[in-house]
Amino acid sequence: MSRIGKKPVNIKGVTVTLSGNSIKVKGKLGELERPVHPNMKIEINGEELTVIRPDDQKENKALHGLTRALIQNMVNGVNEGYSKVLDIVGVGYRVEPKGANLLLSLGYSHPIYFMPPAEIKLEAPTQTQIKISGCDKELVGLIAAKIRSFKKPEPYKGKGIKYSTEVIKRKAGKTAGK
């Protein structure tokens, strides 16, 4: 049996609603809804939620752990939320908040105006840092990856947009070989 799939999910402090093949989780930070594979059965016992698979087929084994992990991420998201921090490295590279949107100057001939979805909150604590937060883990990661894709960090000088925890492997230039 899946080690992750058989662990119960603690749903204390959130409201979980099952309707057909979808699950809705509502908490203090918002509300998330996600479809569940029809093979997976979800049971709620008091303050615990368990995911049960019908048999030991390969597909069902894979879906068992996945479904439980997705539900756990939804519960954590509506309770505490998720956030990612991006650092902007480079001379003249900066970010400017414009309401809920961002204006990025990344060395191109034009600034980049980024408008996030309504569920995502963007902050710029400094001119070289962006904080992305929201209750949907998947969407927070997707928006962070999208902003990072505007100017990926290059290995020679390390310029670009990187995750705050990311380590850029630096390369020596042409002159270092001589």
- Convert the pLDDT of each residue in 55-114 to its tens digit: 989 999 999 999 999 999 999 999 999 999 999 999 999 999 999 999 999 999 999 999
| Domain-located, residue 143 | yes
Which residues, at least 6 apart from 108, have a Cβ–Cβ distance to it below 8 Å? none
Q: Which of 93, 96, 79 is nearest to 16 (CA)?
A: 79
Residues 52 and 117 in one domain: no
Average pLDDT, the chain: 92
Q: What percent of the chain has pLDDT over 90?
A: 84
**Tally of structural domains, the chain:** 2
Residue 52's CATH number:
3.90.930.12
pLDDT of residue 113: 96
Q: What is the pTM for the complete model shown?
A: 0.89
**Which residue among 59, 79, 99 closes a domain?**
79
Calculate the alpha carbon distances from 35 to 14, 25, 68 in Å. 18, 12, 13
Asked whether the beta carbons of 114 and 97 are under 8 A apart, the reply is no
| pLDDT (tens digit per residue) in 97-128 | 999 999 999 999 999 999 999 999 999 999 99
With 0-12 CB in 10 A as exposed, 13-18 as middle and 19+ as buried, what is 164?
Answer: exposed
